[in-house]
Structure 1
Amino acid sequence: MRRIDPRLLLIAGAAFISVSAIFVRLSGVSSGTAALFRCALALPLLLPLAARERRRAGPRRRQGVDVAAGLLLGVDLVLWGASIGEVGAGIATVLVNVQVVVVPLLALAAFGERPSRAFAMAVPVMLGGVALAGGLADSGTHAVHGADPVRGVLYGTGAGLAYGGYLFLTRLAGDGQTHRARPVLLATLGAGAASVVVGAPWQGVDLTPGWAALGWLAALAVTGQVCGWMLIGAALPRLRAEVGGTLLLLQPVLAVIFGAVVLAEYPALLQIAGCLLVVAALWLTTRSAAGPPAAEPGAAAPEPGASSRNHRAAESVRGHEAATGPARR
């Protein structure tokens, strides 16, 4: 993976994640049940991968950050699963991507990593596209596929805030090189715990959902929890915050397409226009990243004499955590 463009890894991860809502919908279980089983069924795959990784690369540092990220992911999964029943699978996945603003803002607050001018110009386009794709500008009943669109929007937005926190912590703690399985394993354990704490008292957790539901949840665990998050975790530390967050906007666009193909949740014309706006904003933000992605932070780094805090942020983005030495700890 070290030789693969991290943008390609992130796009592949987004493609795996984009089918998650469909599997949740097809399973017919509550959001708490889906969140718990997607984590539990992923463990048999992640445990041997993490054990092999530990033997090869040594113990993982910043494990507490991985677990904290997982707790936020668990909250995201429960809220996101609840929004699926209110606004439909495709639109719910669109709404959760308010992370495109959350992640760069957290990077700015924590490390002083300023978003590019292209990103600042593209944010209104992104948010407008998300609003249109979510059916918020269409008063017709054909625009959404759920019981309560307003409540679904609130759930989806809350999920997006938690999701943004998860992505930020993943980018902060990961090196994207030597450790890929263990961060996902620890985050999965944290997400499973959070799904029980949040989902059980709210919507309940069914420990015997049936064989058909288990089949869909197993597919969810493999695609959305293992493949998707390992690819995303390998890519994020090697990209600037705004580039990573923007590329992940392919996820809701693909989700709307898959929702139409698999679940017959056909989008309205304004929703299609919103998806096109998202793609246009993605192009606007990432077109300047045509060179090797690992060099992007260097191009955007401040001039000599900048603070060590900004230098640390640049090092985190490059993903060379293992080579930074004690000063970075």
Structure 2
Amino acid sequence: MAVPDTLATSAPTRRRAVDPRLMAVVGSLCIALSPILISLSGTSPGTATVFRCLLALPVLVPMALIERRRLRRVGGVPGEVQRGRPWLVVVGGLLLGLDMTLWTGAIHAVGAGVSTVLVNVQVVILPLLAFLVLGERVRLSFLLAVPVMLGGVALAGGLADGGAGAADPVLGTVLALLAAFAYAGYLLFLRIGSAPGQKSGPVALATAAAAVSSFVLGSLWEGVDLTPSWAALGWLALLALIGQCMGWVLIAGGMARLPSSTGASILLLQPVGAVLLGMLVLAQFPTAWQLVGCVVVIGAVAFAARRRAEPSPEDAVAS
């Protein structure tokens, strides 16, 4: 997403110096903690997602209001803010709720690390959507990586050895792939629906919409517990603060100022971190073939996203 010249020239130097790649990296590391905290909470997919959103809103809404006041002090921003399309952010938020609920189900079924690897197939889906909607170019190397990635998904999902140790590797793989489509849609709608300079505002709006869609889906699937234990609430509050507030705001701010290929590559830190944390914290050790599949998936999407398309001049961001 382009950063308008008026905003770039009027903003303080300190703000211009923030590298969007650094924001995306830190945000990705925060998100990598999410499946660990979800597993520790021991709650159903709908319960985890609904409370993740609701507990984040008291933090996100003030952040959004502070951001709005700050942007109003910058010359020409009121017009820019009006150019945002909140309804697209709401659509993205509804998809985010589906993504997080399905992903939570995948965490329970196939493990924190493998589910996060599989859901990051969005790294392939997002550039395809960007090509269809925004006309961003797709390289041949990207297309060649897709069948390799699909093979890795099959291995990571336990096709070779049945995913020994996982509760339901096939179901977990299906849920993670469905979540990946919803995740890619969220990132795209957030990108094209947010006004230049906005970070917290769109994430707060999307989180509110996600609470609605996750409650609906969660109520139909395993139910939503409105009175979880205090221990579960503690883990979910930590999830809301780190995974929702810090993670998504940083990712939204970084991704909005980066070409899709660069942002998608940085997001690969999520599955790598989740696999390592899953083994260290939860003692969830994937089988050898699942680990091979994870490596294949991560390698394929990294190859697909690397130099997938050169950023257009309006997307270029000064370091």
Which is worse superposed, 117-126 or 85-94?
117-126
After superposition, residues 11-90 of structure 1 pair within 5 angstroms as 11-58=25-72, 60=81, 61-90=84-113
Query: RMSD of the alignment, in Å?
Result: 2.4
- Give yes or no for the alignment of 1:158 onto 2:178: yes
- Matches of 1:131 and 1:250 in 2, distance apart? 21
Query: Structure 1, residues 254-281: CA drift from partner, whole Å, max 9, x if none?
Result: 1111100110001222233334334544
- Matches of 2:61 and 2:302 in 1, distance apart? 37
Match of 2:106, SS?
A: helix
Matched AA of 1:218:
A
Matched AA of 1:120:
L
Task: Report how far residue 282 of structure 1 moved.
Answer: 5.5
- Matches of 2:149 and 2:19 in 1, distance apart? 24
Task: Report how far residue 81 of structure 1 moved.
Answer: 1.2
Which is worse superposed, 182-191 or 96-105?
96-105
Q: Is the 8 A contact 2:45 2:222 kept in 1?
A: yes
Task: Report how far residue 50 of structure 1 moved.
Answer: 0.8
Q: Is the 8 A contact 2:39 2:107 kept in 1?
A: yes
- Matches of 1:287 and 1:126 in 2, distance apart? 14
1:186 aligned residue: 205
| TM-score normalised by length of structure 1 | 0.82
Q: Is the 8 A contact 1:65 1:173 kept in 2?
A: yes
2:188 aligned residue: 168
- Matches of 2:194 and 2:317 in 1, distance apart? 7
Matched AA of 1:29:
T
From 280, 288, 293, the counterpart of 1:274: 293
2:219 aligned residue: 200
1:8 aligned residue: 22
From 141, 151, 158, the counterpart of 1:135: 158
Q: Is the 8 A contact 2:158 2:164 kept in 1?
A: no
Q: Is the 8 A contact 1:115 1:242 kept in 2?
A: no
The total of aligned residue pairs comes to 295
Q: 1:43 to 1:230 in 2, by over 3 A?
A: same
Task: Report how far residue 17 of structure 1 moved.
Answer: 0.8
Matched AA of 2:174:
L
Matched AA of 1:178:
G
Q: Is the 8 A contact 2:45 2:102 kept in 1?
A: yes
| TM-score normalised by length of structure 2 | 0.84
After superposition, residues 225-264 of structure 1 pair within 5 angstroms as 225-264=244-283
- Matches of 1:129 and 1:240 in 2, distance apart? 26
Match of 2:160, SS?
A: coil
Q: 1:34 to 1:283 in 2, by over 3 A?
A: closer
Query: Structure 1, residues 155-191: CA drift from partner, whole Å, max 9, x if none?
Result: 111111111100111222235x621110110000000
Match of 2:120, SS?
A: helix
- Matches of 1:140 and 1:224 in 2, distance apart? 27
Match of 1:245, SS?
A: helix
Query: Structure 1, residues 108-166: CA drift from partner, whole Å, max 9, x if none?
Result: 11122112344334334444444433433333514xx22x2212221111111111100
Q: Is the 8 A contact 2:60 2:245 kept in 1?
A: yes
Q: Is the 8 A contact 1:239 1:296 kept in 2?
A: no
- Give yes or no for the alignment of 1:212 onto 2:231: yes
Which is worse superposed, 44-53 or 185-194?
44-53
1:292 aligned residue: none
Q: Which runs of 5+ in 2 are unaligned?
A: 1-14, 73-77
Which one has more relative contact order, counting CA pairs under 8 Å at least 6 apart? 2
Which is worse superposed, 67-76 or 129-138?
129-138
